Chains A and B, each alone.
Chain A
Amino acid sequence: MLIQFIVFYVFAAVVVGSAFMVIAARNPVHSVLFLILSFFNAAGLFVLAGAEFLAMTLVIVYVGAVAVLFLFVVMMLDINFVRLRQGFMQYLPLGAMLGAILLVELLLVVGAFVVSPEVDTLAAPMPPVEQQSNTHALGQLLYTRYMYLFQASGMILLVAMIGAIVLTFRVRTGVRRQSIRAQVARTRADAVELKKVVSGAGISGSL
């Protein structure tokens, strides 16, 4: 058990430390890299808790896809660090106020939070870990009990995706596109013409 404790505290400390560095780092690229480190260690915490499916999904979805695109955008920003510092004092009161409101709200929510007394009857029965891996257990719950919620979240993502495509889609005229079909359908007869050229006569007339 000792090693598990040590590993837990290492993961937890790195998560908190790197999450702090996300907002403290001056360079936005470093911020994103710290964010990735924090995702990674969160995945480690999931593994320690025995939720290996969630851990792998966290790495695949957040680190493997979301953060890559995030990094992709942030890397292309051209940031002037001097200008970034300039308005700091001016925006400090507003920022501090927003932060304080958020903190108060969070405290209120957390303070009023109680676990429902009939949680045992509401929650779906958990199969014992020895009989079923947590991948099976999650799938069984998602596709039976929470089917509608699961489908609804999928729909929301689909709508968001279509929305993003519609917003950025524009029809440009005058663009010469490659037509793969026309290219593949070309035969030797369309493309090549063999000419027997009489010496000195040239091929005028055919071109």
Chain B
Amino acid sequence: MAEFWDGYALPGLWIAAKIGALLIPLLLSVAYLTWFERKVMAAMQLRMGPNVVGPWGLWQPFADALKMVVKETIIPTKANPGLFLLAPMLTFMLALIAWAVMPVGDGLVISNVNVGVLYLFAISSLGVYGIVIAGWASNSRYAFLGALRSAAQMVSYEVSMGFVIICVLLCVGSLNLSDIVRAQETVWFVFPLLPMAVVFFISTLAETNRHPFDLPEAESELVAGHLVEYSAMTFGLFFLGEYANMILMSGMTTILFLGGWLPPIDIAPLNWIPGPIWFVLKISALLFVFVWVRATFPRYRYDQLMRLGWKVFLPLSLFWVVLTAGVLVAFGWAPGAEG
């Protein structure tokens, strides 16, 4: 009994506590990201935004959540009910499980795996399944077109994302996310790898189906793409999944290029602020850019989207991999070159 208690139950409870400590703030951030987006866009368009429910409209996310929970979930007659319900759950779940390897501070990580960056890449590449399954299971033309667009788009942009990650890995010499952050103590990778950071950020816009790459749900042509047939909480899970994915992708960009939990310069007033706060600040700055982009740019046309992915980003990032490797080897900066 004692062995069971010490060997399984206590570690299990400890892990559950850590997951709770991460997920509750994360879900709150997801809720308030929707409020943040509406407020920022309103300010950019000289409107008020939500301002009725609570002070500055701060209770708006909870009002929206309540509305979605009490509405009726409608499953279309000709839909495939099992897959139709599986799709939103899958989307939301994938957006959350990726956080298992995300280091929010020095040593503050649920699972410090050796291949953390590959895990993140794998999970983010699975996000397409939620949309594809939703599009197929809805048995609706618009939803299906949205799903097809999403599949092609995400596969295209993953390729250049992979090459960008390789550039960072060449500079670090490890796949561990905490090691990647520690390697940026002298300089954040956004400075030496600036073009790759830009390519990565634009690719994350495409991966999360955000403007200007929101073709899967282009409301002016496809109504709402894969979301057409969804209502109430099934829609809510897609919606929350999209915002959770935005936070996840911003976190990934922060870790790969903006030095994770590290302060900008390691001097007195800046390094008093604890790491997780720096991490959250950097993610918030990136999320602001997400919203800014949405309020600024028109939607890409589909062939332009494909051209950007395959004819611009892919050659550029491939070239940059070769360049990074060449520079590192030529100057003897490659990590672990001696060993």
Contact = CB atoms under 8 A, between A and B. Distances in A.
Interface of A: 3, 29, 33, 36, 52-53, 56-57, 59-60, 63-65, 68-69, 71-72, 75-76, 133-135, 178, 180
A36 B333 CA distance: 40
6 contacts: A36-B129, A53-B118, A57-B118, A72-B151, A75-B147, A134-B114
Given A68-B129, A135-B175, A56 B158 contact: no
Given A60-B122, A133-B114, A178 B304 contact: yes
Which A-B residue pairs are the 5 nearest by beta carbons? A64-B125, A56-B118, A59-B122, A133-B114, A60-B122
Nearest to A58: B122
Given A52-B115, A68-B129, 12 more contacts: A33-B133, A53-B114, A53-B175, A56-B119, A60-B162, A63-B122, A64-B126, A65-B125, A65-B155, A75-B132, A133-B114, A135-B114
Q: Would you call the interface of chain A mostly helix, strand, loop, or mixed?
A: helix
A68 B151 contact: yes
B266 to A, nearest CB: 28
A68 B136 CA distance: 13
B97 interface: no
Which of B121, B122, B125, B304 has the most C-beta atoms of chain A within 10 angstroms of its own C-beta?
Answer: B122
A68 B115 contact: no
B221 interface: no
Nearest to B123: A59
B5 interface: no
Interface of B: 8, 83, 113-115, 118-119, 121-122, 125-126, 128-129, 132-133, 135-136, 144, 147-148, 151-152, 154-155, 158, 162, 175, 303-304, 307
Contacts of A71: 129, 132, 151
Contacts of A69: 151, 155
Nearest to A27: B80
Contacts of A59: 122, 125-126
A57 B83 CA distance: 26
A94 to B, nearest CB: 32
A135 B121 CA distance: 16
B179 to A, nearest CB: 11
Contacts of A52: 113-115
Nearest to B176: A133
A56 B122 contact: yes
A68 B155 contact: yes
B158 A65 contact: yes
Given A72-B148, A178-B303, A178-B304, A64 B114 contact: no
Nearest to A29: B136
A27 B241 CA distance: 28
B136 A63 contact: no
Contacts of B307: 180
Contact of A56 (B83, B115, B151, B162): B115
Contacts of A178: 303-304
B7 to A, nearest CB: 9
Contacts of A3: 8
B133 A72 contact: no
Contacts of A72: 132, 148, 151-152
Contacts of B147: 75
